[in-house]
Amino acid sequence: MKITLINPPITVEQIYGKYSGLASFQPPIGLCSLAGYLIKNGHEVNITDANVLNLSTPDILKTIATAAPHLIGIYMNTSNYYAASRLVSSIKNAGKPRRIVCGGPHPTFLPEDTLRETAADYCVIGEGEETLSELATALENNAADLSSIRGLAFKTDDKGITINEPRERITDLDKLPFPAVHLLPDLSRYKLYLLQYKRLPYMTVMTSRGCPHRCVFCNTPFGKIVRFHSPEYVADYIGHLSKQSGIREIFFVDDTFTIDEERVLRICDLIRKRGLDVTWNACVRANIKNKDIFHKMKEAGCWTCALGVESGDAGILRLIKKDISLDDVRSSCDTILKADLVLKTFFILGNPGETLETIEKTIRFARSLRSHYPVFSLMTPFPGAELWKTAEEYGKFDRTDFRKLLLAGSDPVFIPYGLTKEILLEKQREAFRRLYLAPDMILRQLALIRSPEDVRKIARAFLAFIRIQLN
């Protein structure tokens, strides 16, 4: 069957608002993984990344007309929900009937709502490889009954909605073929956040699926049980990317790359033994047991570690079920810096139970960690997260329009009791100002300069920072 997979267009300004100067365009690796599996199972697939190509709806319709697919798959998350919904309607109204399936975090957590509110015919719930392949085969064979396809939701002839039994998670990730990165546009179009990459082209790589942690603000489409690619598979894939696509930098997008520390050490050993010339970065968690792991990562090409801290108040950390201590955070940050790695830290303002006092603790704690790139976001409950269901216990939450979640970083939708939107926005600006204009931070940034390109990136980031502060 001929299948077109689409990453819908959504502007940088829509996603990042006042932070658009620091924006990122990341490859749709989920679509690449689906495409690789579909091709392996005999289907003909193309990918249209309308987002990075900045395609208009008429442009997409022309692409579809040229490809003439029998099935169209559209990636959908809560942030692009309305853009994706409009695209579905436009395809349906374009004349020739097209069957459309939506997948991604939003349909996974709200499949019935997605089918009721959009013109899509089907939704894939959870991991899509096996479900989408079975759907394509069934449609190719003109099967009248889709009820046996686990993980599928669909509209019925009587205008009802059927949600099939859930599909078990894929346990052996190594049986999946490499993602079909070759179907993407020119990889030089993709870039990470302005100060988060050294070399181009780069590629995002996921070496595991699932997250075992309990954070109330996080949705986990891959589930709580973690499954891993073997170190050999990871090294083989990096080698493949380097040889076939000229990839020079890797961004490991696992929820937590270091969950299995022995596996990480083995990956590092293989990168070095095979002479893979890539630089890379990854997200880690503040409960590392083997502190020597960061030195091994550095030796294997890692240059940045990102760590989710969220708050500098122990009570807030307990309330949001972060399951780490402030001492854990200090120890891990110190060890990362001693390994001569760049440190990026993430914080959330406006948590459940937040007060002016806890925000001040967070700002002071953030500064004490000596991170190179502290980031202060505003708490935003998304479908699938525990806080999506319980937000009203802790504050006011506007869930009336998913478009408001899109710009929640600059227009908060969750306001803890005792605070206001204006206070949160001012404290967010204050946090960035107090950390990035501090003399020690300026010295840290200057110490990172290795080339004229580094100077240009820092200058662009500084100008974006000034615009944010003046906004």
Position 411: which residue type? D
pTM of the model: 0.94
- Identify the CATH homologous superfamily for domain 2-163: Cobalamin-binding domain (3.40.50.280)
Q: Where do the DSSP E strands lie in 126-198?
A: 152-155, 161-163
Tell me what the mean pLDDT of segment 226-246 comes to: 97
Res 13 pLDDT > 80 = no
Query: In this model, does residue 180 exceed pLDDT 90?
Result: yes
Q: Report the DSSP beta bridge partners of residue 346.
A: 308, 375
Q: Tell me the mean pLDDT in the region 46-64.
A: 94
Task: Output b/e per residue, 227-237; b: 16+ Cβ within 10 A.
Answer: bbbebebbbbb
Q: Does residue 158 carry a pLDDT above 90?
A: no
Residue 101 near residue 118 (C-beta atoms within 8 A): no
Q: What are the sequence ranges of the domains in the chain?
A: 2-163, 192-470
> Tens digits of per-residue pLDDT, 244-265?
999 999 999 999 999 999 999 9
Over residues 319-359, the pLDDT tens digits come to 999 999 999 999 999 999 999 999 999 999 999 999 999 99
CATH class of the 192-470 domain in this structure: alpha beta
Torsion of CA 205, 211, 213, 216, to 10 degrees: 90
